[in-house]
Amino acid sequence: MASSQKFALSMSGGGLSAIAYAGINEVLLEHNLTPSCYAGLSGGAALAILLASGLSTEEIIAFIDRIKTVRILNTHWAHLEVVDHVKLTRFIRDLLPYKTFESLPIPAVVFASDVVKKQPVAIQTGDIASAIVASCSMFPMLQPVKRRGLELVDGGFTLYYGAQYLRSESVNKVIGVDVTGLTEGSFGGVFRALFLQINAATTSNSRYELNEFPVDLDIKIRFPTPSLFSFDRKATYLVHLGRRAALLRLKEITRVVGE
């Protein structure tokens, strides 16, 4: 059954667990339910771009594996960040099959947060790599990214699904998916505080948005975020969780998209 409505697949954060979104997309495509727009923040922003580029799940996993390299670690200790965001941006840009939003075969939107105004920013034009890095930026891992006169950080600080920005004449429905996997886990010190901060922001944003700007369908997957060291072992399982979530909600998805 082909989709009769143009719909956006909006992916919230979730760190490396965001690979589960690729599993959801697999099921959608297998049932001819092709999103007309992909959107996301943080980990979901990266997946939104890769899915909009037409990459397969295997290609997305390979893309993430390529990024897991010491070449992007910050070696300039005058810069207060663990990962060199300039190196990371260049590295991602080299890996991406499409460099600008305008060149993507399917439209995509990346959400970030304006540090100064403390407001969401919807990015859908220009350079893709800097938009992805901005949407994932959390101090001390990454410092704010300067882009077009704005200082941008992780989209999760101000947004959840961004349905209010996606609804337009070209997008009739919004399906939101969220891997609620950011946990403090075994981390301590500053990293534990970082996870607590983003978790608090995500919880607050989700309550507000789902009440004021509800999506047409909200799908959640619960799984602790893997570390860089365990991603290889858990990636396939995370994709499986995404597929299972989509299959369990397939009748609802079909109904929402077909209305």
Question: pLDDT of 191-217, one tens digit each?
Answer: 556 556 666 666 777 888 989 999 999
pTM for this model (two decimals): 0.87
Percentage of the residues of the chain whose pLDDT score is greater than 70 = 79
Residue 230 scores a pLDDT above 80:
no
Question: pLDDT of 120-175, one tens digit each?
Answer: 999 999 999 999 999 988 765 667 888 989 999 999 889 999 999 999 778 999 99
Six token digits for residue 196:
């607590």
Q: Are 221 and 247 in contact (CB under 8 A)?
A: no
Residue 77: C-alpha distances to residues 72, 80, 82, 83, 190 (Å): 13, 7, 9, 11, 17
DSSP code string of 139-201: TTTSPPEEETTEEEEEGGGT-SS-HHHH-BTTB-EEEEEEE-----TT--HHHHHHHHHHHHH
DSSP-based helix, strand, coil % in the chain, nearest 5: 45, 20, 35
Range of weakest confidence among 40-44, 184-188, 240-244: 184-188
Looking at per-residue pLDDT, the higher value among 247 and 91 belongs to: 247
Half-sphere exposure of 43 (CA within 13 A, CB side): 23
Q: Are 177 and 17 in contact (CB under 8 A)?
A: no
Question: pLDDT of 6-49, one tens digit each?
Answer: 999 999 987 788 999 999 999 999 999 999 999 999 999 999 99
Q: Are 95 and 63 in contact (CB under 8 A)?
A: yes
Q: Are 146 and 127 in contact (CB under 8 A)?
A: no
Tokens 């589960």 correspond to what residue? 20
Contacts of 47 (CB under 8 A, 6+ apart): 11, 18, 19, 21, 22, 38, 40, 60
Six token digits for residue 243:
């597929």
Give the residue among 157, 151, 134 at the shortest CA–CA distance from 88.
134
What distance in Å separates the CA atoms of residue 167 and residue 7, rounded to the nearest whole number?
Answer: 9
Residue 181 scores a pLDDT above 70:
no
Contacts of 102 (CB under 8 A, 6+ apart): 125, 126
Question: pLDDT of 71-111, one tens digit each?
Answer: 555 455 555 556 677 788 888 999 999 999 999 999 999 99
Q: What are phi and psi of 25, to 5 degrees?
A: -65, -35
